[in-house]
Chain A
Amino acid sequence: MLRNTRRETLVALVLIAPFLAIYGLTFVYPTVAMVNLSFTDAPLIGPGQWVGFDNYTRLAGERRFDTAFWNTAYFVALSVIPGTFVAMVIALGVSRLTGRMQALVLALFFLPYILPVSVVYRLWDWTLNFQFGIAMYVFDIWGIERVPIFKTTTWFMPAVAFVTIWWTCGFSILLFLAGLRAIPAEIYEAASLDNTGRWTMFRRITWPLLWPVTALVTTIQLILQLKIFDQVYLFSTGGRPNDNLVLVYYIFQRAFVNNQGGRAAAIAVVLFLIVVIVSVLNFQLMRLAERRK
């Protein structure tokens, strides 16, 4: 049968046109416009004068950008790998259970994930508030000195990272479970016939075969946590937001509080590049590691 390739191309084009149009309108165009904006001194709404690389060069010497950058990096370090690790451990545990028990335990671990961030904030503020948090009364009973967790820079990021892991690890657990179920049971059977210990089984079978899922989870986590905003915003209201600044918060502050759209766009472009570079690097590294195995 003869194929009319020209016709096929045409059909293909028609079929993807709606997607391309929407993608162009809601992603490509705003991205280009944002990059453009970052070279101007525009306010939040309306045009501005071309200022070249000024918005970028002044970021280098800015204290708040510095704070925001390092806080974001610190938060990523505290949440991505620990979060992935916790999710994997829980998934390994859950996968040993069967039937209703498994469904129940899984549901319990997944429950926090369905909560909106504002509820998460309320729950943990009730727990950890310096004056009236439930945990503080427990501290009092044990004779431990109270800690103003969300009011000191020492504890803020670790606490927010902890809350974030508690809140979001349900989703990663699901991914890991799916990964675990995809490992054929025969491999484990064969291994146990050879008297393989539990640790060797994990190291030689589960870990390498789960690797693609691990790579996926860390990449998703990395992108998500680089864009941290909600939790930091909520937990630092009525506290010290400028000490707990993260990059997206800083974009918000420049754009919406200080009415400096151009400068905000410059930070957004920097963050965009960081996300692209870091996530591509991460994924490539993960693939390299896989090949070595």
Chain B
Amino acid sequence: MTNYKVTGSVMLLAGFMSTAAQAEVVVEWWDFLGGGDGVRMKQLIEEFNAEHAGEISIQATTLEWGVPFYTKVQTSVAVGEAPDIMTYHASRIPLAVSQNVLSEITADDWATMGLGEGDFASATWDAVTIDSAQYAVPLDTHPIVLYYNKELLSAAGVLTDDGVPMGMDSLEGFTETMRALQSNGVKFPLGSVTADGNFMFRTIYSLVGQQGGELITDGEFLTGDNAEKLANALAVLQDWTNEGLQSTYTDYPATVALFTSGEAAMMINGVWEVPTMTDLNAAGNLFEWGAVELPMIFDQRATYADSHSFAIPAGDMDPETRAATLEVMSWMLKNSLFWATAGHIPAYAPVTATAEYAAMEPNATYSPLTDNMIFDPKSPLAGVAGPIFDVMSTYFVPTLNGEMDPTEAVEEIIIELNDM
């Protein structure tokens, strides 16, 4: 604390002295990082500001994730009140480009930042590229994982000697694990966000991917047997509900609470909840826990992932501010090892190649999944909180809670997707 105060006053002093010679460039920053990862991002921003005192200062605002954030971005760009830099989901970039919301990151910009294609995994680079132009700088990839309560699993005899859940390689195996937990008195073997179709898109899309299915083929929705694959994925989840293996009508905060309170033994959620668990555990308020790649329910491994990236909104920007913004992005990527403590997998390859990263837990346990990551289809209709997300989510909730038949849900989804 005292340290901060000292740095603060030094910064203030430096600020006063330098105003005459050179004004500090203020970079206005918007993000949607409200959870445990937001706390880490604020720390990174503070470090950046301390290191760039007198030159650049980030003025950060955290807004609500999802539709509210992207709505605000769109309107602010339209009226010329956008920030200088904002976090953006790579999956939303096709939509953003079609709406002219983003400013291109040019070859010169990349050179200024000292970054380039070679620093990123090809899938990640591809996710921010539209028609061979880049519109954002990837910060991380964030897949969903399976969180588990080691104490409950061990008590039910379904924890391996390596400390991971048993039955991770088949539907039968995983269902058996859940049944064992259930007969051992666990209220919900699996905590699922069954009230929020938007959230469940990630799990369901992973299960479709595990059958090699895709949502859009040549611009058509769910062609051929892809519809059947979606129905299969929904049927598996509905069976779990019918057997009482997963929590029903549960919203996002309640799901996390069910898991952290020990009422649910496992939970499928994004890696962004890693800091929540780490912090609770460090404070002595959480059991021993772990996180692994999703179980292989169908024939191949596949996990949904998206990427947080930095983007510059479209519109006029003076050269100094743009240079400062590029410096912010470059610095954040090069210091993204700390961002990995938020559970995310840094996109900047030199960071993930370090020994420190390789030793980091639980990241090391689930990082093999990076080979099996699938991203959203590249379409202006796709992306988090986008139109496809929205349409499909409408029918996920009734299906997952046993109100609607999976095949009927798929028929309705196809009708409404084609209705857009």
Contact = CB atoms under 8 A, between A and B. Distances in A.
A131 B257 contact: yes
B416 interface: yes
Interface in B228-271: 247-254, 257-258
A54 interface: no
Given A131-B257, A132-B257, A242 B247 contact: no
A239 B74 contact: no
5 contacts: A63-B416, A129-B251, A131-B250, A148-B401, A151-B195
Interface string B196-208: 1101000000000
Contact of B251 (A63, A239, A256, A257): A239
Interface of A: 43-46, 62-63, 129-132, 148, 151-152, 238-240, 242-243, 256-259
Contact of A63 (B252, B258, B419): B419
Interface stretch (B291-299, B338-346, B390-398): B390-398
B168 to A, nearest CB: 27
A14 B187 CA distance: 74
A130 B255 CA distance: 11
A238 B196 contact: yes
A44 B101 CA distance: 13
B78 A238 contact: no
Nearest to B420: A258
Interface residues of B, number: 31
A63 B79 CA distance: 32
Nearest to A154: B403
B67 interface: yes
Contacts of B67: 256-257
A2 to B, nearest CB: 56
A210 B348 CA distance: 73
Contacts of A257: 67, 71, 390
B75 interface: yes
Interface in B382-406: 387, 390, 393-394, 397-398, 401, 403
B71 A256 contact: yes
Contacts of B74: 44, 256, 259
A132 B195 contact: no
A240 B392 CA distance: 11
Nearest to B251: A238
Given A44-B75, A256-B75, 18 more contacts: A129-B254, A131-B250, A131-B254, A131-B257, A131-B258, A148-B195, A148-B248, A148-B401, A151-B397, A152-B403, A238-B252, A239-B251, A239-B397, A240-B197, A242-B390, A242-B394, A256-B67, A258-B387
A171 to B, nearest CB: 29
B99 interface: yes
A130 B254 contact: yes
Contacts of B199: 238
A46 B257 CA distance: 44
A148 B248 CA distance: 9
Given A130-B249, A238-B252, A239-B195, A45 B393 contact: no
A62 B387 CA distance: 16
B258 A242 contact: no
Contacts of A129: 251, 254
A62 B419 CA distance: 9
Contacts of B253: 238
Nearest to B396: A240
B397 A240 contact: yes
Closest 6 CB pairs of A and B: A148-B249, A45-B78, A151-B249, A242-B394, A238-B251, A131-B254
Nearest to A43: B99
